[in-house]
Structures are given as C-alpha cells and as structure tokens.
Amino acid sequence: MPSHPETTWVILAGGQARRMGGQDKGLVTLNNKPLIDYVFARLSSQNATIAVNANRNQDVYAQYGNVFSDVFEGFPGPLGGMHAAMSHLDSAWIGFVPCDCPNLPHNLLEKMYAAIEEDTEIVVAHDGESVQPVVTLMSKKIFERLDNFLANGDRKIVLLYDLCNTAFVDFSEEHDAFINLNTPDELEKYGTLS
C-alpha cells in the first residue's frame, strides 16, 4: 500500500446543526472566520485534495473544493455525507472530517495513511479516551455495505465499523485536536481561548 493512497478528503458540512440553532455550521464564524476555513487550512497544509459535502449554501462552499449534497433524503447524518462522497468521487480512499473541528492534528493524514494495511477497510481517529467516528478514512470497497446499512435505516457509524476491517489511530498526544464546536456557547468559549 503506498504511503499516500489516492485519497480525497471531504469536509462534512451537510448537517442540520440543530444545536447551533439551525445555522449552517461550517459558515458560523470563530474569530471572524467561518469554521470551515480552519478545517480547510489544516487539510491544505497537509496537501490534501479537498471536497465538501453540503446540503445548502453550496455556492459559498464551492470555494473550498468540489461540492456535492446527500443522495439519501432526510438528513441521515454524517453517514449520508460519507455515502454521497462514495457516490460522487472516484478516489480509492475517501477521508472525512467534520466542518466544526478547527484544531485538527497537523499530522492527521500522515498517521491515518500509516495505519492502512492490505486488508484495512476503514481507519478511524481515537483521542485516547474515545473514538472520533467522523474523523475517518474509508476504502471505496465498502460502498455496497454502507449503502445497505443506510437502506436498512441504520445511522450509527460505530456499528458500520464493526462490519468492516477497521483500524484505530491513537491521537492521545493531541487530545484537544478533536474539539467540536456544536453550540453558540462552545463557540464563544473556544473563541476566547484560541
């Protein structure tokens, strides 16, 4: 397996952001910059090819990369974005990160790629305490399983991981790298700290 397989990294910005009052979370600002700017910068600095899963404001998101919306209706959550990416993109591997995670590790891609072995199908980040299920790298080979999984009404990503050959990558040294900003309160607190 090459150290950098043919991969597109997708910023997941397709959710409803209920806890953010329904605002488009990727475009909510932190220190006067949209959250997606921080995520885009972290991925770009690691030479990622970037695309965006978004179900609204697609013209705005287009400045960050190829934009596509969910195929499954009814906002099936991050899995909907993952499914859409596999439907739209030709890459052998597709990486995913949430749009509200401004502090992603600077070595995210390198460590995720290093975990791929011949039979690996999914690679998932772990912060030392818990799995970060939306920070993941998936082989396109699992598309059919993902399609069936969603068609059966399943929405829990971790259950999909149990159906595949999944490797977990330890990022415990960068525990704070996966801070999610889900609410206006969290955004305000993080903004004063950063």
Binding residues for Mg(2+): 100
DSSP 173: G
- DSSP H or E run through 111: helix 108-114
Which residues lie across from 93 on neighbouring strands?
A: 7, 139
Report the alpha-carbon distance of residue 1 to residue 126 in Å, rounded: 22
Q: Which residues are annotated as a binding site for GTP?
A: 12-14, 25, 53, 70, 100
Classify each residue of 130-167 as buried b or exposed e, where b means 16 or more C-beta atoms within 10 Å of its C-beta. Answer: ebbbbbbbbbbebbeebeebbeeeeeebeebbeebebb
Residues placed in the known binding site = 12-14, 25, 53, 70, 100
Shortest CA distance to 134 belongs to which of 61, 64, 81?
A: 81
Task: Give residue 146's Cα distance to chain centre.
Answer: 16
Token pair 């909510």 is found at 28
